[in-house]
């Protein structure tokens, strides 16, 4: 949807206030075009003149998780921030579907979710071949089945994973609604994922998870969970925040399936105690 069309759509509602939980110039520009009188947000991306209630960013806030980053925005606007607790309420019928699926597919070692996709770009994606090696390791070491999450865009990666898995591996890419995918994440014993929306869903559902980070900032956008492990390489160019790697993709290809399998095993053990 174009900027002008979106601004016209917003103007129909007659909003009195827009609080921008996005740092882009376009967010403020669209709000101004829509005729919203009060526009609040961080003074970033040269958009300060468009904000009626612009908020500066203290240096210490730039190096905190985005949950606290945006809570700070609300506090500076004189609002009361909410709880740090994440939660998702899912439809009962989708939860029942996910429970039935898990009962049918779970092996004695459990059911592990795999998420090889990430919308931001390939720099965030651990290679599908390594996910395949991981699925094989999950089967041989834990006798656990794996289920692959994602959209139709992740079908090719899923085929690679299934081919290498050598065990009980189920491709659900593009086969569920978002609500059912979320419910199924909640039914998994653990979830291995790139930095993605589904990673944050797993955190909100309190599913134990291993998050693999490459180009993005694990401090600012890591899983907001006490039951998560981050696997990454601390190299000079990471986090570069790029969508495509301009070097040799070392931050991702140097992470082995064996390393992720070990972290997953530790996480499963911890949650069984």
Q: Could you report the per-residue pLDDT of 22-38, keeping only the tens digit for each?
A: 899 999 999 999 999 99
pLDDT of residue 232: 97
Record the pTM.
Answer: 0.87
Look at residues 201, 199, 195 and name the one whose alpha carbon lies nearest to residue 124: 195
Per-residue pLDDT at 53 = 97
Over range 152-158, report the average pLDDT. Answer: 96
Q: How does residue 219 score in pLDDT terms, banded at 50, 70 and 90?
A: confident
Q: What's the token pair of residue 189?
A: 């014993």
Mark residue 112 as left, alpha or beta (left: phi above 0; alpha: psi -120 to 50; beta: remaining). Answer: beta
> pLDDT by residue (tens digit) across 240-258?
989 898 888 999 999 999 9
50 pLDDT above the threshold of 70: yes
Tell me what the mean pLDDT of segment 110-127 comes to.
94
User: Has residue 188 got a pLDDT over 70?
Assistant: yes
Find the mean pLDDT for residues 127-143. Answer: 97
Give CA–CA dist 5/58, Å, rounded. Answer: 35
pLDDT value of position 149: 98
Encoding tokens for residue 140? 């041989």
Angle (nearest 5°) at CA 35 between 32 and 40: 50
228: which strand partners?
209
User: What pLDDT was estimated at residue 4?
Assistant: 86
Q: Is the pLDDT of residue 1 over 70?
A: no
pLDDT at 131 over 70: yes
State the Rg of the chain over Cα: 21
Question: 57-116 pLDDT, tens per residue?
Answer: 998 898 889 999 999 999 999 999 888 889 899 999 999 999 999 999 999 999 999 999
**What does DSSP assign to residue 49?**
G
Instruction: Find the mean pLDDT for residues 208-222.
Output: 94
User: Please, what are the domains in the chain?
Assistant: 3-76 (3.40.50.2000), 92-272 (3.40.50.2000)
Query: Mean pLDDT for the chain?
Result: 94
CA 222 to each of CA 79, 126, 207, 230: distance values in angstroms, whole numbers, following the listed order: 25, 15, 15, 8
**What's the pLDDT at 83?**
86
CB-CB contact of 159 with 70 (8 Å): no
Helix 128-137 to helix 257-272 angle (10° resolution) is 50
**Which long-range contacts link 202-207 to residues 24+ away (Cβ below 8 Å)?**
202/113, 203/86, 203/228, 204/86, 204/87, 204/88, 205/88, 207/113
Model confidence at 145: pLDDT above 90: yes
């Amino acid at each position: 949807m174009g900027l002008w069309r979106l601004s016209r759509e917003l103007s129909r509602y007659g909003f009195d206030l827009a609080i921008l939980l996005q740092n882009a110039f376009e967010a403020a520009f669209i709000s101004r075009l829509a005729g919203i009188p009060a526009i609040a947000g961080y003074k970033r991306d040269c958009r300060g003149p468009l904000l009626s209630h612009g908020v500066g960013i203290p240096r210490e806030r730039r190096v905190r998780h985005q949950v606290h980053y945006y809570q700070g925005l609300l506090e500076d606007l004189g609002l009361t921030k909410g709880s740090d607790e994440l939660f998702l309420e899912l439809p009962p019928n989708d939860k029942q579907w996910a429970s039935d699926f898990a009962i049918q597919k779970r092996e004695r070692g459990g059911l592990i979710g795999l998420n090889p996709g990430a919308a931001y770009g390939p720099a965030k994606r651990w290679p599908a071949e390594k996910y395949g090696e991981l699925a094989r390791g999950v089967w041989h070491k834990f006798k656990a089945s794996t289920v692959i999450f994602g959209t139709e865009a992740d079908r090719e990666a899923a085929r690679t994973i299934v081919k290498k898995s050598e065990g009980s591996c189920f491709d659900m890419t593009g086969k569920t609604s978002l609500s059912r995918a979320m419910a199924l994440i909640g039914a998994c014993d653990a979830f291995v994922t790139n930095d993605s929306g589904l990673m944050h869903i797993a955190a909100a559902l309190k599913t134990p998870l291993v998050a693999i980070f490459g180009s993005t900032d694990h401090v600012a956008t890591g899983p907001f969970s006490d039951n998560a492990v981050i696997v990454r390489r601390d190299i000079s160019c990471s986090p570069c925040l790029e969508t495509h790697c301009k070097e040799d993709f070392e931050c991702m290809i140097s992470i082995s399936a064996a390393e992720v399998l070990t972290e997953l095993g530790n996480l499963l053990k911890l949650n069984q105690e």
